[in-house]
Structure 1
């Protein structure tokens, strides 16, 4: 009985939070996943780690695609435009994998990416053409370093085997993106 009351209370709080448009979409997804996990008969670190990773991966992936689309539109150097096109292609494919895994594992993903990424996009939109390419590549380097660290950290966590396989197969692509971004950025100096 106490658990049912607790779950009902959590659901009401979550529904209220979902109605608040100023809420962080990543936090909303994490909260919804926590309620689902609380309703499971057995608690599992694997389930929690899996859902948290998929939410982060979706957040970063959606942001990368949107930032890359901006790069395709605004970049002045062909190498930057080509890099941005590769980001759209590769991250769109990765996002589809994350979505499929989340659907299979009943994990709620954020509807959009977090405010920190929206701020980066807004900052890049405000850049003058002569500054855009360098700042875009700096953002790509920073974002990929953070994403690689999160993927590496998650690879050590107890989680779903299919998600671990996704991490293992995606890490080399992320590293190649970072290497390419650093090479392009270095050539701009």
Structure 2
């Protein structure tokens, strides 16, 4: 703003450059956008079959309703996420994570009606809660308007699903309802620290530690001299 006031021509050029950068950014994706698409794809891969299973094996009507809505919504999300991944060149996983596969096996193994309903609602509510922060972060921070619109839709869907799952009465307060944001862990390659990252972190730690030791010794020496 100061530059533009002092030098109008420079201000126009600066604004033009910012406009061009914004235009370029609106048609590209960053690491967080890629992570978002990957996480949505992971969710679809296991929540679609679990939603279908709930419509078939759920005993409480609220569980059947939640399964039916999740099946429809995640099927639609899967179409969109594939289109966006193709557009922006983001590789997508072809199968759920090992944790999600374990949840699928756990839910599928429940033969008792209420036990199935409770496990389904609890695990799915926890899963939806774990991606909520990521979706909000992408919605607030992405420079890509298409990704922002998709994040808005995903946010509304996750909110709806959490409400439906909570309405079953089977979401436990110590696990499903207050789930930690565990989706963004090293389960996803985008979040894994590389060896160079770890090495850099170690070097920085050693430099800081050495500086602290030197500083303490200098202060001690000054104190002794006095």
Question: What TM-score comes out, normalization by structure 1 length?
Answer: 0.69
Name the CA distance, whole Å, in 2 between partners of 1:187 and 1:167. 25
Quote the residue 2:60 is aligned against: 77
After TM superposition, list the pairs within 5 Å mapping 1:108-147 onto structure 2.
Answer: 108-129=91-112, 130-147=114-131
CA contact (8 A) 1:49 1:157 kept: no
Distance 1:163 1:187, change over 3 A: closer
CA contact (8 A) 2:47 2:70 kept: yes
Q: Secondary structure at the match of 1:110?
A: coil
Name the CA distance, whole Å, in 2 between partners of 1:94 and 1:187. 24
Quote the residue 2:43 is aligned against: 60
Name the CA distance, whole Å, in 1 between partners of 2:171 and 2:42. 30
Q: CA RMSD in A?
A: 2.1
Instruction: Judge which range, 66-75 or 79-88, deviates more.
Output: 66-75
Dislocated runs of 4+, deviation >6 Å: none
Quote the residue 2:18 is aligned against: none
What count of residue pairs does the alignment treat as equivalent?
144
CA contact (8 A) 2:128 2:161 kept: yes
**Structure whose alpha-carbon radius of gyration is higher:** 2
Task: With a CA cutoff of 8 Å and minimum separation of 6, indicate the structure with the bigger relative contact order.
Answer: 1
Shift of 1:81: 1.4
Q: Secondary structure at the match of 1:107?
A: coil
CA contact (8 A) 1:60 1:147 kept: no
Shift of 1:46: 4.1
Q: Which one has a larger percent helix, Structure 1 or Structure 2? A: 1
Name the CA distance, whole Å, in 2 between partners of 1:146 and 1:159. 23
Name the CA distance, whole Å, in 2 between partners of 1:171 and 1:181. 15
1:180 aligns with 2:157: no
Name the CA distance, whole Å, in 2 between partners of 1:162 and 1:187. 34
Quote the residue 2:84 is aligned against: 101
